A = this chain, B = another copy of it.
């Protein structure tokens, strides 16, 4: 059930740090300051679900040379000591007077110098995971040290996955594949949507997921009105289309794909729409390789699902994924990111069946040297049909 080796060899982290340091030198940064779960984990391997608690800030400092320094609440010091990080500085948090700010400021000055430029991720799809008032205190305490953007370094590093990372995402996809293959055991006419949502999460766990951070399950006659609804007490009726979209985790890496199910026989429109979605996926797969752009993948799909109108209100037709459910790039006309080998992407075309009624299909792929490969098992163009559940 728990396929695959856990964690990464030390060399993986050393390579990540070395790449960051090369990029930092080019950008004139004396250190990186990281506050978010995926960024801290990327360089340290620190893996815990405790980030669900918003109480305490956690910091990792990547210096211009040498190994990262962890500045963290003492509640996490034992677990951090099991990673490769040697320099762990901790304080007893929460501290209502000074929740790590002084310790962090001292560490940054020591590591980066009195006139440093310190980079933080502050661009699209990032956020600063510490109280804003404490960030202002940190800025004041560090002056004249400057806290600036990270020049896109974290994005550039994390957007391309190593073979070991890809293997973890593929394991997550296989787990979801197996769970989707068993939906007939839990759903059918007469079943309740919220109960199916619970049972589907149980299937994901039974098939080997470590946890199931994300599930959306919109449902409606001949399509659904959005893709982010939580489950309610809706009782399935013939003609309903159910979408299950899961982001489950294996060893800290996500899959993110969905499957659509027709309760009893689908209408002709639903059947056609579903086929069209798979056509769109195939069109993107045909061109997916290093050198095309994120926008190219968008247009390949959009030509099929809207006839090239430029998208819909869901806003994009796919995205990166990895240590987060969604990551850069975005498959939108604006995003000219050059696709590279090692990127893991979702292809996520949506189509309107009738006004206000949509279907969305999603697969996960990895870009390879001369093309792309499905990590999820590509769905059949014929929408799956569920009869009354056992």
A114 at the interface (CB under 8 A from B): no
Chain B residues within an 8 Å CB radius of A201: 201, 205, 211-212
A75-B228 CB under 8 A given contacts A55-B330, A95-B334? yes
A122 touches which one: B54, B73, B133, B325 (CB < 8 A)?
A: B133
Cα–Cα, bound, A74→B226 (Å):
10
Q: Is the CB of B330 within 8 A of A94?
A: yes
Chain B residues within an 8 Å CB radius of A225: 78
Cα–Cα, bound, A345→B240 (Å):
42
A230-B78 CB under 8 A given contacts A125-B54, A211-B201, A325-B53? no
Chain B residues within an 8 Å CB radius of A56: 315
Cα–Cα, bound, A33→B96 (Å):
24
User: Distance (Å) between the CB of A343 and the closest chain B CB?
Assistant: 16
Complex interface residues of chain A between 186 and 243 (CB less than 8 A to chain B) = 194-195, 197-199, 201-202, 205-206, 208-216, 225-233
A316 at the interface (CB under 8 A from B): yes
Among residues of B, the one whose C-beta sits closest to the C-beta of A37 is: B54
Q: Is the CB of B325 within 8 A of A96?
A: no
Q: Is the CB of B319 within 8 A of A55?
A: yes
Q: Is the CB of B129 within 8 A of A127?
A: yes
A182 at the interface (CB under 8 A from B): no
Among residues of B, the one whose C-beta sits closest to the C-beta of A324 is: B54
Q: Is the CB of A123 within 8 A of B127?
A: no
Q: Is the CB of A210 within 8 A of B194?
A: yes
Contact with B along A295-329 (1 / 0, CB 8 A): 00000000000000001011110010000111100
A97 at the interface (CB under 8 A from B): yes
A128 at the interface (CB under 8 A from B): yes
Cα–Cα, bound, A247→B335 (Å):
38
Chain B residues within an 8 Å CB radius of A75: 226-228, 313-315
Chain B residues within an 8 Å CB radius of A369: none
A315 touches which one: B73, B194, B232 (CB < 8 A)?
A: B73
A96 touches which one: B202, B227, B334 (CB < 8 A)?
A: B334
Cα–Cα, bound, A315→B326 (Å):
33
- Listed residue (A132, A194, A233, A327) with the most chain B CB atoms within 10 angstroms of its CB: A132
Which of A11-19, A42-50, A105-113, A378-386 makes up part of the contact surface?
A: A42-50
Q: Is the CB of A131 within 8 A of B120?
A: no
Cα–Cα, bound, A126→B123 (Å):
20
Among residues of B, the one whose C-beta sits closest to the C-beta of A82 is: B229
Q: Is the CB of A230 within 8 A of B198?
A: no
Chain B residues within an 8 Å CB radius of A214: 49-50, 52-53
Contact with B along A146-173 (1 / 0, CB 8 A): 0001000000000000000000000000
4 cross-chain pairs, A with B, having the tightest CB-CB distances, nearest first: A122-B132, A74-B313, A50-B228, A53-B326
Interface of A toward B, CB cutoff 8 Å: 1-2, 6, 47-50, 52-56, 73-79, 90, 92-97, 99, 120, 122-133, 136, 149, 194-195, 197-199, 201-202, 205-206, 208-216, 225-233, 247, 311, 313-316, 319, 324-327, 330, 332, 334-335
Cβ contacts A to B, 28 pairs, < 8 Å: A2-B194, A2-B233, A49-B213, A49-B214, A50-B214, A50-B216, A52-B214, A53-B324, A53-B326, A55-B330, A74-B313, A74-B315, A75-B227, A76-B226, A79-B226, A92-B313, A93-B315, A96-B124, A97-B334, A122-B133, A124-B131, A126-B131, A127-B132, A133-B149, A194-B210, A202-B202, A205-B205, A210-B231
